[in-house]
Amino acid sequence: MENLIGDIGVLEATEAKSCDAPGLLPDQNTGKSRKLYIESYGCQMNFSDSEIVASILQKAGFDTTSDIHQADVVFLNTCSIREKAEQTVRNRLHHIQGLKKQNPTMLVGLLGCMAERLKTRLLEEERIVDLIAGPDAYRDLPQLLSQVDEGNRVVNTFLSREETYADISPVRLNSNGVTAFVSIMRGCDNMCSFCVVPFTRGRERSRDPHSIVAEAKDLFEKGYREVTLLGQNVDSYRWSEEENNKAWIEKKEIHQVFTFAQLLERVALVSPDLRVRFSTSHPKDITDDVLHTMARFENICKHIHLPAQSGNSRILDRMNRGYTRGWYLEKIQKIRSLLGDACGISSDMIAGFCSETEEEHRDTLSLMELVEFDFSYMFIYSERPGTLAAKKFANDVPLTIKKRRLDEIIRKQNELSLRRNVRDVGQVHKVLIEGDSKRSPEHLQGRNSANKVVIFPRKNKSKGEYVCVRVEECTGATLLGKIVE
C-alpha cells in the first residue's frame, strides 16, 4: 500500500502509515560535469516532478546523485499541505547549512509548493537558500542556476495557465522497472476550504492525451507493466486541441473535449498486459462513464481512491467538498453495483476540522463502517494560511481532541482493513510481481487488482510477471499466499 499515492515522508507517527525517507533520485553517471541531488517531500506529484526536473537538468549538464556530499546543487522539492510538512523542510535546511560550511560552493534550491506559497519570503527567512522555483517554473531552472552561478539569489514562482511539461520525458530513476507514475494534469480548481493546493499549484490543466498514450506505450516497451495516471482530481481531466485549461474550456464553451473516461480507455488499449491505475478521484466528479470503462477492461485495476474527508454533511459543506454524506454513499453503491464487492475503495480522512462536534466525528466513523474502506490516509486538520477555512472559520477543536479523534479513526480503519483482507483468504488473485519481499529473500511481493500487497514464495518467478496466488493468511496490511498454476 505504500505505493498508493500520498503524503509520504512528512506525516506525524500517529497520522498515517508511510515511508519516512524523503524520495531521492539515485546515482546517474553519464560523465556530466555537475551533480544534482534532489529530496522530494509530499505527494506523488512531487516525486513525478522531480523526475521532470532531473530530465531538464540532465540536458543542462547534470548527473544525479543520491549522496548529498557529492552534490554541486541540492534541491528540496517541498510540500505545504500541513504545517508539519513545512517544518520538516525547515529542519532539513538547518542540517544542510552545516554541510554547506564543509562545501561552500554547493548551491541550495527550494522547489514545489512551499516555494510557491512563501516566494521571496523564503529567501529572507532561510539565508542558506539560493534559488526558489514554483511547480510551473522548472523549464527555467537552467537559466536560474546560471544566475546563481553569477552570485545572485533568484526566484521564479510564476504560475502558468497551460504548462503540463507534456513534451518532457521524465528520467525514471527511482523505479522498480515494473510500475510507473504518469502525470496527466496539473493544478486544482476545487477550492476545498482546508486545502492549500489550488494556491500552490494553480489552475487545472490537462496534458495532451497523445503524449500520455505515447508515454504509456514507451513504458510498456521498456518492460513496465503498470502505469498510474496521476492528478489532484483526475475525473475533471478535460482536453481539447484548442485549450487545455479547464476554466478556459468552460469559458470558451468548447464542447468537443476529450474526457478522463476516454483517456482511460486509450491507455488501457496500449496492451492487455499493461495494468492501469489512477489517482485521485473526487466523489463529486467521478462519472458513470469512468466506472463503465473500468468494468469493460480487465487491465484497468479495480481500485478507487475516493477521499471522503468527513462523514458529516455539515462538515463537508464547510469543507466546500461539493457533496453530502448521502451523495457519497450513493456513489459507493454505484461502484459496488458496477464493479462488485472486490473493488478496492480507499479514502483520506481529516480529524477535527473547524467546529466539528463529537456527534459529527462519530458520523465519520459510521461512514467508514458503512463503506468498509480497504485503506485510508488519515490526518489531523492543520490550518493553512490563506485558505478559505483559515479566513472564515476558527480552528477551534483542541489538539488533544483532534488527536483522540484521529486515534479512533485509525483504530476503525485498522479493524476494517483486517475485515476486508480476511474476505480474500481462500480466493485466487492475479498479482503483478513488483520485486523481492521485504520479509525475506525467498519471497516475492506484488499487488492484486484492488491494490493490496500480496506476498508469496518466489518459486522460479521474477518481477514484471503476472502470477495467480491463492491467499492463505492475512494481516490488516498484507495478504500471504502461494502461487497456483
Residues forming contacts to ligand SF4 in the complex (CB under 6 A) are 188, 190-192, 195, 197-198, 232-233, 282
Residue 43 beta carbon to ligand SAM: minimum distance, rounded to whole angstroms: 5
Write down the least CB distance from residue 361 to ligand SAM, Å. 15
SS3 429: strand
In angstroms, how far is CA 213 from the centroid of its own chain? 20
Distance between first and last Cα of the chain: 26
Instruction: Determine phi and psi for 39, rounding to 5 degrees.
Output: -110, 130
Pick the closest to residue 196 from 130, 134, 120 (CA basis). 134
Cβ proximity to ligand SAM: between 37 and 375 the closer is 375
**In the complex with ligand SAM, which residue's Cβ is closer, 65 or 364?**
364
Q: Which is nearer to ligand SF4, 145 or 192 (CB)?
A: 192
Q: How far is the CB of 83 from ligand SF4 (least distance, A)?
A: 16
- Residue 65 interacting entry, from ligand SF4, ligand SAM, none, C-beta within 5 to 8 Å by type: none
Distance in Å, CB of 121 to ligand SF4, minimum: 22
Least separation in angstroms between residue 203's CB and ligand SAM is 14
CB of 434 vs ligand SF4, minimal distance in Å: 27
Q: In this structure, what C-alpha cell is assigned to residue 350? A: 481529516
Task: Give the burial class of 287: count Cβ atoms within 10 A of its Cβ; 0-12 exposed, 13-18 middle, 19 or more buried.
Answer: middle
Grid cell in block for residue 211: 503524449
198 binds, among ligand SAM, ligand SF4, none (CB under 5 to 8 A by kind): ligand SF4
Q: Rounded to 10 degrees, what is the CA torsion of 414, 449, 469, 467?
A: -150
- Whichever of 3 and 65 has its CB closer to ligand SAM, that residue is 3
List residues near ligand SAM by CB under 6 A. Answer: 7, 43, 81-82, 194-195, 197, 232-233, 280, 282, 307, 309, 348, 350, 379, 381-382, 384
| Minimum distance from residue 378 beta carbon to ligand SAM (Å) | 8
20: three-class secondary structure by DSSP: coil
Binding partner of residue 9 among ligand SAM, ligand SF4, none, CB cut-off 5 to 8 Å per kind: none
Strand 344-351 with 443-447, pairing: unpaired
- Binding-site partner at residue 260 among ligand SAM, ligand SF4, none, CB < 5 to 8 Å by type: none
- Give the residue with the Cβ less far from ligand SAM, 192 or 294: 192
| Angle between helix 288-296 and helix 325-339 axes, rounded to 10 deg | 20
Q: Which residues contact 143 (CB under 8 A, 6 or more apart)?
A: none
Which of 231, 481 has the CB closer to ligand SAM? Answer: 231
DSSP element (H, E) containing 417? helix 399-422
Q: Which is nearer to ligand SF4, 64 or 190 (CB)?
A: 190
All 3 cell numbers of residue 187? 493544478
